[in-house]
Structures are given as C-alpha cells and as structure tokens.
Structure 1
Amino acid sequence: MAVQHFTLAKFRAGTTREEKDDTYRTVYMLLAAALAIPGIKGFKVGPPMDCKGTRGYEFALTVEFQDLKAFNEYIPHPHHRLVADFVNAFSEGTPLSYQINTARSAKL
C-alpha cells in the first residue's frame, strides 16, 4: 500500500508573488533532498492552476511514500521537521495535512 501525503497552506497577507515563487523553489529543493530517505518515492510542489475554489490555499505539496511504515517513519524524522517548520513559517494559520492509501483509492 502506497501512501500519498498532501499539505495545503495559505500564504500570509502581503506575501508577494516573488516571495511565493521563492517558497515553491525552496520547498522543492528541500523535498528533492528527501528523496535520499528510504521509502519516499516522489513529490510535487506548487501553486494551484486556478485560484477559483481553492478557499485561499495557494501552496500545495504532495509526497508519495512506499508504504504506511515509510510515512510513519518520516513524520518524526528531522528532515520532516525542517520542511514542516518552513511551511509553518510562511503559512496563515495551520496548514491542512491529508493522507490517502493509494492502493485503496485505485479500487474505488
């Protein structure tokens, strides 16, 4: 069973387009480094294609883990803390975190 982890965040008021672009690039680099951690299969990070219906969420990342064990091992990992702290630093409020079992969703 693979696990797909999603994080959605809202930027603080007054964040410029350049600051948002820098944020996407920084998180991309942080997640690229995470690929060296066993059990991480891939990731994506970026803005919405269209802001309609996003309810103010302009930042998204998704990380695919090999299985639930890999996901559970990553949560306390220092690298996760680094990424989470960075996301929390630019976020308005608490980011939304969501996980799905991709094996189950494929069967629905």
Structure 2
Amino acid sequence: MIEHIVLFTFTEQTTEEQQREAIHKLTSLKQEIPGIVDIQAGLNFSDRNQGYEVGLTVRFEDKQALEAYSPHEKHQEVVAYLREIGLTDILAVDFEI
C-alpha cells in the first residue's frame, strides 16, 4: 500500500469557502479514480504548518495506482480548480506502508 501526503498553500485572496470546495473536490476523487483505498483532506489548524493551509492524504492499493492518479482526467480537473483559486505551492511525500 502507498501513502500519498500533499500540503497546499494559496494566495491571500483565496477564501476559506474556496478551500473547502477544493477539499470536497479532492475527497470526491475516491469515487472517480480506481486504486484509491482511502482519501482524507482538511483545513490546517496547527501553528506548525509553515504556511501550508490544506492537507491531503491518499492511500493507494499500490505504486501503479499512484502513478495512474496524477495524469488521470478527474485529478487534472481538480488541479485546474486549485490553480484557479490561487494555489501557490504544494509539498508531496509518498511512501510505502
């Protein structure tokens, strides 16, 4: 199994409502993309976040599922939305569990 962790930052103009919509779109990918075992996302509340505002964890069946995820049309639609609302940076970590 593969754990995929992503942290996001946005412009100051990005609203919390837009971030919540992004979270909804991200978590909806479980129904759209094969190989996702679990997906969770939420707004950060920690003061240790180094500026990252939204966190995402996706658990995949295997590395092939992870590799198929990024170019998948539905994932790319969410990425486009993230950019549209002011995505400025992401940090991703992948590891096997």
Is 1:13 the counterpart of 2:12? The answer is yes
Q: What is the percent sequence identity of the aligned residues?
A: 26
Tell me the distance in 1 between the aligned counterparts of 2:32 and 2:13: 35
Unpaired stretches in structure 1, ≥5 consecutive residues = 103-108
Tell me the distance in 1 between the aligned counterparts of 2:62 and 2:21: 27
**Counterpart code for 2:80:** D
TM-score by length of 1: 0.74
**Counterpart code for 1:74:** Y
Tell me the distance in 2 between the aligned counterparts of 1:75 and 1:84: 9
| Residue of 20, 28, 34 corresponding to 2:30 | 34
Task: Specify the structure having the higher radius of gyration (Cα).
Answer: 1
| Count of aligned pairs | 96
Partner residue, 1:23: 19
Deviations 1:41-96 (A, max 9, x none): 1111111232x12111111111111110111111211112112222233222x311
TM-score by length of 2: 0.81
Q: C-alpha root-mean-square deviation of aligned residues, in Å?
A: 1.9
Q: Which has the higher helix share?
A: 1
Partner residue, 1:54: 49
Is 1:71 the counterpart of 2:66? The answer is yes
Deviation at 1:9, TM superposition (A): 1.3
Q: Which has the higher strand share?
A: 2
Partner residue, 2:92: 97
Tell me the distance in 1 between the aligned counterparts of 2:40 and 2:50: 20
Tell me if structure 2 keeps the 8 A contact 1:27–1:83: no
